[in-house]
Amino acid sequence: MENFIFQNPTKILFGKGMEEQAGTEVRAYGDKVLLHYGGGSIRRTGLYDRIVASLRRAGVDIVELAGVQPNPRLSLVRQGIQLCRERGIGFILAAGGGSVIDSAKAIAMGVPYAGDVWDFFSGKAELKEALQVGTVLTIPAAGSEASTASVITNEDGWYKRGFNSELIYPRFSILNPELAFTLPKYQMACGASDIMAHIMERYFTNTREVDFTDRLCEATLKTIIQNAPLLAAEPDHYAAWAEVMWAGTVAHNNLLNTGRTGDWGSHDIEHELSAAYDVAHGAGLAVIFPAWMKYVYRHDLARFAQYAVRVWNVDCSFGSPERTALEGIKRLESFYRSLGLPTRLNELQIPEEKLEEMADKCTAGDRQTIGNFVKLRRADVLAIYRLALK
């Protein structure tokens, strides 16, 4: 196990009706807020009205910025930065899923910064200060409600890049499982895939003697595996949503990577899909992660066999750990398909002739490697895309 410092300052308000506390929580940080959200879903469900009423009861002045898209756009982030500066806003409340929260975090980063906020995502600047952010989560998936991460898409070249800093941990996050009841089945499935990917990025590590966090990762994966099918059949199953929502938060709040170095290659590879083709992130991960596994599993056959046995209940083939490992990958793909997710690039309408271009962008023209479990160059990324093709 490696040395680590773990600190997560995000206050979690979990359970039915907790969105009614939004005003009280925001008021602790000031009397003016940017309410940031996506399309019309929070209005259709009545969540918007409840949040606004709570903020007004607390005496908070509200400025709104709607329009966040999946794979949130840099152009809207820049608009939000300008709005916060003009209106003297010091706190941002994100009401939605990971895209809304990531957009809010990026706005929070950009307001105090004299340059362009994309400088942080392109590695040209170091974050020194940021506005504070709170969230009302509606989609268990990205884990951004209690993480250090923000991922933004730049329409100039269609680059999707992430940034991490402890300065953008949300100060509080409201998690009411009832808010997920109206999610379409496919969106629930994409969320489950996203959560599982966050766990598996941490699970596949070269760090030895991390059995405690291995077991935490395995338990969190099994929680999603057990409850996602329940939600596919019964979308208003409160107990199942509660399990998935909390698992999604824990999957990405940095607890599961304590004492170990995760991989994150699959996320980088997938970002090229969702940036250029607006693929749902979870759907893209359902395609890329099994392909990545097939490419790297021999690097640590024992770990992949452990994953198969502990997570997917594969009977261990003592004479052939490779057979055990491959069966675990097969069961992951079958699980994705059972939820209606794609597992091949051709299902996402990704043109084969674009694979080289995506591999080039992913590795900055082969000037950088991605991933930690196995360091991947351009040729490796291209091979994984081809494994995922059909």
Whichever domain contains 114, its CATH number is 3.40.50.1970
pLDDT tens-place string over residues 220-243: 999 999 999 999 999 999 999 999
Judgement on whether residues 252 and 355 belong to the same structural domain of the protein = yes
Check residue 210 and give its pLDDT.
Answer: 98
Residue 385 pLDDT greater than 90, yes or no: yes
Judgement on whether residues 241 and 367 belong to the same structural domain of the protein = yes
The CA angle 325-317-306, to the nearest 5 degrees, is 45
Judgement on whether residues 338 and 377 belong to the same structural domain of the protein = yes
Is 296 within a domain? yes
Say whether pTM exceeds 0.75.
yes
Domain region containing 195: 183-387
Is 5 within a domain? no
For residue 236, the tally of other CB atoms under 10 A from its CB is 12
Judgement on whether residues 230 and 122 belong to the same structural domain of the protein = no
Question: 3-state DSSP helix/strand/coil percent for the chain, to nearest 5?
Answer: 55, 10, 35
Is 195 within a domain? yes
Judgement on whether residues 276 and 144 belong to the same structural domain of the protein = no
Judgement on whether residues 103 and 248 belong to the same structural domain of the protein = no
pLDDT grade, residue 390 (50/70/90)?
Answer: confident
Is 2 within a domain? no
Is 20 within a domain? yes
Gap between the Cα atoms of 24 and 17, Å rounded: 14
Residue 125 pLDDT greater than 90, yes or no: yes
Judgement on whether residues 194 and 327 belong to the same structural domain of the protein = yes
In the chain, the number of structural domains is: 2
Burial of 247 (0-12, 13-18, 19+ CB in 10 A): buried
Judgement on whether residues 157 and 85 belong to the same structural domain of the protein = yes
Judgement on whether residues 359 and 324 belong to the same structural domain of the protein = yes
Among the three residues 150, 179, 208, which one is the final residue of a domain in this structure? Answer: 179
% of the chain at pLDDT higher than 70: 100
Is 6 within a domain? no
Among the three residues 179, 196, 217, which one is the final residue of a domain in this structure? Answer: 179
Among the three residues 145, 179, 213, which one is the final residue of a domain in this structure? Answer: 179
pLDDT tens-place string over residues 73-86: 999 999 999 999 99
Is 3 within a domain? no
Check residue 141 and give its pLDDT.
Answer: 97
pLDDT tens-place string over residues 24-63: 999 999 999 999 999 889 999 999 999 999 999 999 999 9
Check residue 352 and give its pLDDT.
Answer: 95
The CA angle 99-104-108, to the nearest 5 degrees, is 150
Gap between the Cα atoms of 324 and 317, Å rounded: 6
Characterize the bridge pairing of strands 91-96 and 159-164: unpaired
Instruction: Specify whether the CB–CB gap between 263 and 205 falls below 8 A.
Output: yes
Judgement on whether residues 133 and 25 belong to the same structural domain of the protein = yes
Least Cα distance to 195 among 145, 158, 159, 248 occurs for: 248
Judgement on whether residues 148 and 204 belong to the same structural domain of the protein = no
Judgement on whether residues 195 and 222 belong to the same structural domain of the protein = yes
Check residue 139 and give its pLDDT.
Answer: 97
Instruction: Over range 357-368, report the average pLDDT.
Output: 97
Is 337 within a domain? yes
% of the chain at pLDDT higher than 90: 98
